């Protein structure tokens, strides 16, 4: 599924109004996603012509046999601002030095508790990224290290980083991690329970001028998904004095037909 999102913040730089960001997370290549499906998804991302591609961790799942093919494809999408990536626990658990080298060889911007600046028409876009962390306190510490007080865009695998990001007034934080559960048992068409032990779930959250977009992830194999299709998000970020959020509706629950008594 491709999830289209448009949101705004007065803290977003005017020179980058309308920036189109492709946000991908949690492919778990090998464990939850085949190389064939990953390549098909990347072709779909490229067809959307994003200005920037953000990858928020868990690219591979305890192996890196096909990581080069996947990361080369991500690096070759041709987004004008490029592709940036933050790593998480699964990426670094299995021969982390190999993954680091593959990312660099692919021409992808690797952000590990650091930031880069992109210039356009005399204005700068500050993009920061933090390493994977499990606790809100560690996430906050990493945000402080990478942002030096402020950034426009934060890539953080764990959405728990949003608390500190909102305190800094960062306009947009992108996260994954929770998967929004692979099987979602809905009690109503608009009820979506918490996932992955975090109150930040599927969709977009706001805190003052700050926004958090949590994607359910691209991994599409076992464990099976129900009411929760794999996805990547296409986010249009706007500069506006009055904040707003427009996004696709989450997938609706299919109602079972009642069988007539025989």
| pLDDT score recorded for residue 260 | 44
At 167 the three-state DSSP class reads helix
Residue with tokens 């939850």: 32
Q: Per residue in 80-112, pLDDT tens?
A: 999 999 988 767 676 678 888 999 999 999 998
HSE-up of residue 119 (Cα within 13 Å, Cβ side): 2
Q: Which residue has the higher pLDDT, 175 or 196?
A: 175
Q: What residues contact 49, with CB distance under 8 A and at least 6 apart? A: 20
Residue among 16, 33, 15 at smallest CA distance from 24: 33
pLDDT at 94: 64
Please report the domains of the chain, with CATH numbers, ordered by start residue: 2-243 (3.60.21.10)
Q: What is the pTM of this model?
A: 0.82
Average pLDDT estimate for 66-72:
90
Residue 178 has pLDDT above 90, yes or no: no
Could you give the CA distance from residue 247 to residue 234 in angstroms, rounded to a whole number? 10
> How many angstroms separate the Cα of 200 from the Cα of each of 158, 173, 193, 213, 237?
9, 12, 10, 9, 20
Angle at alpha carbon of residue 161, lines to 224 and 176, rounded to 5°: 20
Q: What is the pLDDT of residues 127-146, one digit of tens each?
A: 999 988 888 999 999 999 99
Q: Count how many Cα atoms sit within 13 Å of the Cα of residue 246 in the half-sphere of its side chain.
A: 5
Phi-psi region of 237 (alpha: psi -120 to 50; beta: other; left: phi over 0): beta
Give the up-direction half-sphere exposure of residue 224: CA atoms within 13 A in the CB hemisphere.
Answer: 3
Mean pLDDT of 71-78: 94
Model confidence pLDDT, tens digit, residues 185-243? 333 333 333 333 344 445 788 899 999 998 887 665 545 555 566 778 999 999 987 66
């Amino acid at each position: 599924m491709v999830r289209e999102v448009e949101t705004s913040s007065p803290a977003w730089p005017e020179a980058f109004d309308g920036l189109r960001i492709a946000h991908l997370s949690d492919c778990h290549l090998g464990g939850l996603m085949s190389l064939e499906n990953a390549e098909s998804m990347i072709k779909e991302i490229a067809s959307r012509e994003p200005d920037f591609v953000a990858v928020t961790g868990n690219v591979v799942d305890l192996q890196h046999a096909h990581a080069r093919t996947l990361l080369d494809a991500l690096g070759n999408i041709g987004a004008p601002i490029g592709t940036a990536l933050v790593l998480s626990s699964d990426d670094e658990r299995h021969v982390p030095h190999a993954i680091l080298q593959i990312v660099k060889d692919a021409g992808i911007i690797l952000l590990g508790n650091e930031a880069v600046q992109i210039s356009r028409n005399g204005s700068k876009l500050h993009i920061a990224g933090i390493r994977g962390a499990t606790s809100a306190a560690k996430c906050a510490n990493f945000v402080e290290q990478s942002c030096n007080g402020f950034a426009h865009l934060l890539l953080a695998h764990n959405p728990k980083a949003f608390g500190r990001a909102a305190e800094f007034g960062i306009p947009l934080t992108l996260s994954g991690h929770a998967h929004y559960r692979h099987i979602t048992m809905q009690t109503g068409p608009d009820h979506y329970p918490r996932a992955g032990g975090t109150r930040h779930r599927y969709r977009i959250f706001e805190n003052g001028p700050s926004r958090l977009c949590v994607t359910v992830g691209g991994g599409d194999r076992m464990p099976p998904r129900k009411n929760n299709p794999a996805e990547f998000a296409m986010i249009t970020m706007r500069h506006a004095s009055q904040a707003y959020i427009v996004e696709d509706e989450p997938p609706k629950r299919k109602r079972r037909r009642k069988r007539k008594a025989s």
